[in-house]
A and B are shown apart, each in its own frame.
Chain A
Amino acid sequence: VNAWRGLGFGLAVCLLAGVNSVAAGDDSAGTEFFESKIRPILVDNCYPCHSHQSPKIKGGLLLDSRDGVLKGGDTGPAVKPGDLAHSLLIKAVRYTDDELRMPPKNKRLAAYQIANLEAWVKMGAPGGDTNVQSFRIDDRSHWAFQPIRVPVVPAVRNKKLAQTPVDNFILARLEAAKLKPSPRADKRTLIRRATFDLIGLPPTPREVAAFMADKSPDAFARVVDGLLASTRYGERWGRYWLDVARYADTRGYVFGDDRHYAYSYTYRDYVIRAFNEDLPYNQFIEQQIAADLLPSGSDKRSLAALGYLTLGRRFDKNNNDIIDDRIDVVCRGIMGLTVGCARCHDHKFDPIPSRDYYSLYGVFDSSMEPDPEPLLGIEAPPKAREEYLAEHKKRVEARDKFREEKERAMAAQLRSQSGDYLLAAFEAQRSANQPDMDVMAHNRNLDPDVLRRWITALKGWRKSQQAIFAPWFGFAALAEKDFPARARELAAKYRANPNWPVALNPLVAGEFAGAAPATMKEVAERYDTLFTEVDQRWQQALADANSPAPAALSDAAHEALRQILYAADAPANVPRNDFDRLYDIPTVQKLQELQRQIDELDATSPGAPIRAMALTDRPDPHNAHIFIRGNSDNPGPEVPRQFLQVLSGPGRKPFQNGSGRLDLAEAIASRDNPLTARVLINRVWLHHFGSALVATPSDFGTRSEPPTHPELLDYLAARFMDEGWSIKKLHRWIMLSSAYQQSSDDNPASAKVDPNNRLLWRMNRQRLDFEAMRDTLLAVSGELDLTPGGHAVDITDPSSRRRTVYGYVDRQNLPDLFRTFDFASPDTSSPRRFYTSVPQQALYLMNSPFVINQAKSFAGRICLMSDTADEARIELLYQLAFQRDPSREEIEWARQFVRGPAAPSPSRDAWQKYAQVLLMSNELVFVD
């Protein structure tokens, strides 16, 4: 397989946006026709010379706006709507006029394309942007681009319910819609809700009991504070951020090489720590974009934050795609802006010109990944470290030993083919019709590059090695057609005078002292004989010698010939990288395998040095050129490295420092950026309520739905920034509200008015996501291993007991288990999880060895009890699983199940099956 070498051709992808769902305007059919049929023709065939981004605009004609089309170029309007005869564009594409033929150079359009253009003109040439861009790049009228102002907290009638200002905003809308909020949920429901919400695990029966007993007014606030202080919190909320960060432990498809990211886990651990330590969100953002450029003192741990940029898919090392991935994760992940859409053309809906995309491109193209990656200053345990070093040394030695053996063997083989190369070099030079050297080499089982080395060497030897090669060049100069006769004459001269034309190497002279060679092949063979003999002598000398090994052969004539084979610039001494090319496939695979073993050790050994997947500025930061239509082979104007126009205001200046990454980070995390805080508030809200204020958490552009509670969003965003960008404070403001503490029970009257609960007249019931589900099974069974951090573990192994956030994420072949439970795609920044119900999920709970293990352990917990009564056991299981007592009915069902019709006492096996039923139940995975 030949890995695909990133071809530079362009993508015309984003144009599709909106073909299907442009808001129905006056002429949505016309717009649709334009977008699907006409614009692609114009982009492909006309924009290279007739758009604002063309390197040179021809004929004064611009076809990238409706105005431009109607105004036309130097020769008049391109299109008169409805009038085919007077539309120059139609005339040009029809190729009927000798003077006006477009596209030029006989690249005429297909008949169906011409027909579509005609149909379009007849329709009145609908669609198209009125201006060059469908927006003004400084257009900030869209709500999300407006500055965040602190709104007035609205007054509400039900003052008792207004526990925090959040409630005022929620209640104001409910009251306006004449809806009543739901009553407060009961305390058990509340503590379950808060615990799953903040740490992704169920509360213990003891925690529930303590909360139930606590009658103080701030009992719930203290529960929330306790949960926020738990290190389990970062594992839950950090994972949400890892969805945004398209986190994975592998680089995606590569052929042969190791796929591990050895240090992606350091980013995961950084994120978890940042949440646990409540690192101010603006700093969190800045570190993820530019930790290497921030003052960090002696604590280098924040360098791991740069994994946010670097741990994306590697697209077979295609630099453009890697940068695109980084632009996307920064802009969509942090600011809810789909800047990636401006890769091939100006964004069609948002004020993001292609220039802005390439401004950011320049920033990332001026950054590089340091090799080796910087150490984080975190020490591995000494014992593990020793083991690692020993093993690492062993593996490196194994690789080097194999490589050296193969190099020696390959060099020996090349030397043994000296005669063949000589002859081939001669024939390649002589042949009048210059046969393809590669083909010739292949046909003779020689390597074309080594052959080139011989040709080059011979050119030098013509001057420097006359003593050896004079006969070679002498015979080579003879005409081909009467070679035997001429060769006899020449050989006679050599015989007559061994010093003619120069003093010959005696061995060479001896070789040509006898009968004349009949062909050049024979001449080459004589040299080959000499080389072979000398090489044998040398090998013998090496074998015979005691240390130190000899530096040269004692006989000068032999030594001179040996130099042809062994000198540093000898053709057979190919550079190391060339050796790799010469090996056969098994050798290449073995080398890859040996290298992979080293990489794998670095990636998995607990003693391996702990490094950051960092980024650093290049010494030569540079601006990028726009790639016209995203095609890197078609560069347009250069654009400065600077921030997005729509977020910068009129005084925009190019970035000043290095690549500009730090400037970019500061601009994004700025108090003046209207998006960063809003996007974060919305993400946090989504996880608390199961529904977001802005339905598209990673797209706040003009096509997104406006927020359900815009003032609330702004209130929280402003206060969040004013009070230190603390996410933990934000949790409190939300969770201490009456809105959050409502019951999730249905209310048919309210449902009639607001079926989707957009106004939050109740709490949404939420289903546990994959991580919380699996962690809960482990917690309930008593098996959960709470070891934090470190190398990823294989959670598809049924005996794995670690929290799911520590599971190994292979983005190339994500295990079915992850997919089945709607894990976030690790390929691009993920705004939210899907929630599907498919039978494969049920099969996992019914049959997987992992769940069966948990059922066994869960049932095992009752065997430790002194009270062996069925009721007591059932109660314990209910408390552990659901934090409540079973009803009389449920106890009866359980007894029937574990005892069957006749059993005098339930078997362990029966309890295990019963335990598994509880683990499969809806009550376990739905949170009211």
Chain B
Amino acid sequence: MGMGALGLANLLSTLGGVETARAENYVSPLLPKAPPFPGKAKRVIHIFANGGPSHVDTFDPKPSLEKYAGKLLPVENLATERKTGAAFPSPFKFKKYGQSGIEVSELFSHVAESIDDICVIRSMTADVPNHEPSLMLMNCGDARSIRPSMGSWVTYGLGSQNQNLPGFIAMCPGGYPIQESQNWQAGFLPGAYQGTYIDTAHTRIEELIQNIKNDYVSLPAQRQELDLLQKLNERHMANRRDDAQLEARIQSFELAYRMQMDASDAFDISNEPEHIRKMYGDGTQARQLLITRRLVERGVRFVQVWHGAGQPWDSHDDIQVNHGNLGREADQAIGALLKDLKQRGMLDDTLVIWGGEFGRTPTVELPKPGSNAGKINGRDHNHHGFSMWLAGGGARGGYVHGATDEFGFAAVEKKVHVHDLHATILRLLGFDHEKLTFRHSGRDFRLTDVYGRVVPELIA
């Protein structure tokens, strides 16, 4: 068993029932825990470009597509969700950035300014070209069965550094992504490890976090209530000193009281200086990424930031217009986040992950009655090869890992399956992915199931 296993075993016996709830045994499920190995990354920000961002339009330039523009590729198109036709060169311009000279398209020119801190993986692969199973695979490591999400595993393994805020927060403006709250499910782990969903289309704190405000009682009056509560609880506990559950529940009220202030503060970006807000820009993405920085700064362990409800990056048509808009919405804010983390010295131990559930085809999607309105200017889903990137938290900056084929249809060099990415992320956090396990239904489960290998080249 790994070094952290003792702490986990202890925690689990606690969760298992009251029989071990003696004072010396009780551990709050979210108390910070050390990983078995020293991990460079202490916290994770997962920016989820849901819908499937096109790699050949963002981080994987394919000049060969120009040669065949409008013509069939010399190789057969791989099977994806729908039929695709001729080669479709990117309408976006690529440019070299940084010392590393890595090429990035104009969609992410702000992000590209930090390219020397970014590890671009151009050889990602998933299993199927459909949103639902691919989202489940990317988030939970299994396309079909009920499994805890990566954020749940990480908070289960590491706890959280701030007990006044949820340890794992999932933000998505305007509603849920496809597959909904399953994306941040705790599965068979205790509910405390479930991602707390926040609809960042809202701006008022009471709409962001349930029960965070009391319209009826002022804070000072509530303080008086809690003071009396603690007196009553203390009296009740007088001859029950051995029972740590009582103390844990008492503490939870104090934490909750402070959470009301701390959470309000964490989500209030008007506290940020003008130049920082300017740096992130306007709009929802800017707001939620700035909130993200404030949350991780306060010790939240895992923040997942979704672009929007449904599947915004799913540009089956009009990719130039749609990806153009999406890039404009996200690029400046993500770029600002990286720079902001760096200037605060936080990028070293904050792992930022960017990507979707898969990429898109280098060939044009053929129209389908009732869905494309006859347009032939978009791309289909593509799980054979796509790009993601990691930054900070011990990831190897200024490095491109792996490659897709000449046209960007499939990963061919140094393929990284989603399981491998998970294994590597856990390694960056200080875990052996084979040993971060939870016993359920007669066996030990893990994020990577029976798969996954750490990709050492991704680690600085």
Contacts and interface: CB of A to CB of B under 8 A. Distances in A.
B253 interface: yes
Contacts of A7: 128, 133
B450 A2 contact: no
Contacts of A818: 191
Interface in A816-858: 816-823, 825, 827-828, 832, 834-848, 852
Contact of A889 (B182, B235, B437): B235
B220 to A, nearest CB: 12
Contacts of A691: 17-19
B446 interface: yes
Nearest to B234: A922
Nearest to A916: B225
Interface string B349-384: 000000000000000001111110110000000000
Nearest to A22: B444
A843 B256 contact: yes
A81 B441 CA distance: 35
A816 B212 contact: no
A828 B441 contact: yes
Contact of B236 (A757, A767, A923): A923
A14 interface: yes
B214 interface: yes
A141 interface: no
Nearest to B368: A442
B19 A764 contact: yes
Contacts of B146: 313, 825, 827-828
Interface in A722-763: 745-746, 748, 751, 755-758
Contact of B182 (A253, A838, A921): A253
A411 B194 CA distance: 50
Given A439-B85, A838-B30, A751 B242 contact: yes
Given A825-B187, A842-B252, A921 B163 contact: no
B176 A764 contact: no
Interface in B426-444: 434-435, 437, 439, 441-444
Contacts of A692: 17
A848 B211 contact: yes
A439 B443 contact: no
A12 interface: yes
B232 A17 contact: no
Interface stretch (A260-268, A481-489, A577-585, A609-617): A577-585
Interface residues of A, number: 115
A136 interface: no
A840 to B, nearest CB: 7
A2 B25 CA distance: 49
Interface centre among B21, B221, B371, B374 (most CB of A within 10 A): B21
A757 B19 contact: yes
Contacts of A447: 369
A781 interface: no
A819 B253 contact: no
A832 B196 contact: no
Nearest to A818: B191
Contact of A21 (B1, B178, B181, B190): B1
B300 to A, nearest CB: 13
A636 interface: no
Interface residues of B, number: 105
Contact of B441 (A340, A841, A844): A340
B214 A1 contact: no
A442 B240 contact: no
A734 B33 CA distance: 40
Interface string B172-196: 0000101111100011101110101
Contacts of B369: 442, 447, 581-582, 584
A757 B373 CA distance: 69
A537 interface: no
Nearest to B245: A767
A588 interface: yes
A767 B246 CA distance: 9
B178 A837 contact: no
A646 interface: no
Contact of A917 (B25, B192, B228, B252): B228
A346 to B, nearest CB: 14
Contact of A837 (B188, B249, B374): B249
B232 A890 contact: yes
A686 to B, nearest CB: 8
A9 to B, nearest CB: 8
Contact of A438 (B83, B181, B214): B83
Interface in A232-290: 253, 255
A315 interface: yes
Nearest to B18: A690
A439 B82 CA distance: 12
B59 to A, nearest CB: 25
Nearest to B19: A691
B229 A921 contact: yes
A809 to B, nearest CB: 14
A483 B176 CA distance: 59
B248 A837 contact: yes
A36 interface: yes
Given A20-B437, A889-B235, 18 more contacts: A1-B178, A20-B1, A21-B437, A255-B132, A438-B366, A583-B370, A585-B371, A690-B18, A690-B19, A698-B442, A751-B22, A765-B18, A765-B240, A812-B180, A816-B210, A834-B190, A839-B259, A893-B228
9 contacts: A1-B178, A703-B442, A746-B241, A834-B15, A834-B191, A836-B29, A837-B251, A840-B211, A846-B211
* Top 5 A-B pairs, shortest CB-CB distance: A338-B442, A17-B443, A842-B256, A691-B19, A839-B256
Interface of A: 1-4, 7, 9, 11-21, 36, 40, 112, 253, 255, 313, 315-316, 318, 321, 328, 332, 338, 340-341, 349-350, 438-439, 442, 445, 447, 581-585, 587-588, 686, 690-692, 695-696, 698-699, 701, 703, 745-746, 748, 751, 755-758, 764-767, 812-814, 816-823, 825, 827-828, 832, 834-848, 852, 887, 889-890, 893, 897, 913-914, 916-918, 920-923, 925-926
